[in-house]
Chain A
């Protein structure tokens, strides 16, 4: 039985009503599962200690976060990304951020100790956090702290990031480690934040060949996405032979997401999640730590994460969503919500579809050609 990690104080990681990284997404998600009568026992984590944070972050950065006060601009260290457009300072930021880290750490501990094969942290996934730079809605990098724990337990970690943005923080923090494979599928950084994640970013020194990036064309659809996934991910896992998979399950590759340009549907996400879960059976004896991540269209994000939870529990997938739940949340959000778990069938009018798919195929081939020398012989 997978375990689930959540704490009501996750809602305190809140940048304000205008900010897209909103805890309303978890609130909707939990109430949806309740309305669907899906049993969801939740473990409450403790906040991560300073010592745990400093396995990844510079002590001076942790101090700067702890000292940042919303009302005192002199405490906003913008050189460390604090008090910027994407990471405004909020009340008790340090405690809220380290609780999210604690949750991912808790999930990692549950898997590493053998208590459960799979643990989903219902939050976190803050993959843009750097050693001394808050960025892209991320203060502390919970994923990286969890990787350090898994490594300390002697496990080889494959990190898979399906958020639409490049997992730049996690990549940078493990760039020279040959025992951590980072694998990110994302919309190309040609325009999209954070701008990195090109195929030639392969790792450094001993870690060369253990950072893999698949930058996808804007307007990539399900079939091309899953084709590229199939070309790269199983092959990389087969070479790396991980003990555990850590997955950042951002939902912002969905077509309705306001911050990016990929065109995945919930049907595509179902196929993707099923494939990821099958790969854990194949390569890690079923061991996986999963987190949430980006996802800025609440209607789609919540349905995608509900799908993930239902699949993790081997629960049958409902067709329609509960009417009461829909009524409550469409009123609260002042928006029309999709009445079914899945999207209505989509037909996108993408004149360049073939070119886009061909480019994605070519990029994934190029990646494998570039990484081969690192895997099979010395440079």
Chain B
């Protein structure tokens, strides 16, 4: 999944010479929290609702005025992503800099924006289900051919894998959660177990009585 697959486009923007008051009203109307800031059609910064609230807070000794310019308050230079960056790269940048969005630029041109909300949507797409199916969870040794062994066994049992999620559990173990188009996941679990695969769910045997 790439940034271009989940970015929001077209994107709302502000200009560097706009007033804080005008940008505040715009954010309220559009229900957005982040705006890339342009000067002469070039990306020069980012302004967020949090920037506005902090800059104009009466708790400050020198609060900004609604008539002050965006350029005085915005974050610059902006951190950006490219449309072909993998989404985990975008997530890493946002975590590293503790920021909530990345304008997406293709060369010099602003083409979209990615926010934390879009990354949550991506998580839901990756882990969610779109068609009926049952799930199994296994632990595989982190070695060449292990995933192939898993999927080959599922295929031999006539199961159609709808989605696969995996993550390293430890230095030498991979946890794999996959969705198959069948109710009969126990039979599948037994077949995997017979292949020597460590099945974490569903239980292999009959329920304990």
Contact = CB atoms under 8 A, between A and B. Distances in A.
Contacts of A137: 183
B132 A196 contact: yes
A62 B160 CA distance: 23
A196 B184 CA distance: 16
B136 A86 contact: no
Contacts of A263: 207
A20 B132 contact: no
Contacts of A219: 207
Given A137-B183, A195-B132, A258 B201 contact: no
A194 B179 CA distance: 10
Contact of A348 (B136, B181, B209): B209
Contacts of A346: 209
Interface of A is mostly: loop
Given A85-B159, A263-B207, A348-B209, A165 B183 contact: yes
Contacts of B185: 191-193, 259
Which of B136, B157, B203, B207 has the largest count of A CB atoms less than 10 A from its CB?
B207
Contact of B207 (A128, A191, A255): A255
Contacts of B63: none
A217 interface: no
A54 B134 CA distance: 28
Given A255-B207, A255-B209, A135 B132 contact: yes
A231 interface: no
A261 B203 contact: yes
Given A136-B132, A348-B209, A191 B202 contact: yes
A256 interface: yes
Contact of B183 (A133, A259, A348, A349): A259
B159 to A, nearest CB: 6
B183 to A, nearest CB: 4
A349 to B, nearest CB: 6
Contacts of B134: 191-195
Interface string B176-209: 0001011111100000000000000111001111
B175 interface: no
B12 interface: no
Contacts of A133: 131-132
Interface string A1-37: 0000000000000000000100000000000000000
A168 B183 CA distance: 13
Interface in B148-183: 157-160, 179, 181-183
Given A128-B132, A261-B202, A261-B203, A193 B183 contact: yes
Nearest to B158: A85
A75 interface: no
B127 to A, nearest CB: 11
Nearest to A349: B208
A86 B129 contact: no
Nearest to A165: B183
Nearest to B200: A191
A18 B207 CA distance: 21
A115 to B, nearest CB: 35
Interface in A245-281: 255-259, 261, 263
Given A194-B132, A259-B183, 6 more contacts: A85-B157, A86-B181, A192-B202, A194-B133, A195-B134, A259-B185
26 contacts: A85-B159, A86-B181, A128-B132, A133-B131, A165-B183, A168-B132, A190-B135, A191-B135, A191-B137, A191-B185, A192-B134, A192-B185, A192-B202, A193-B132, A193-B134, A193-B182, A194-B132, A195-B129, A195-B133, A255-B209, A258-B206, A259-B183, A259-B184, A259-B185, A263-B207, A348-B208
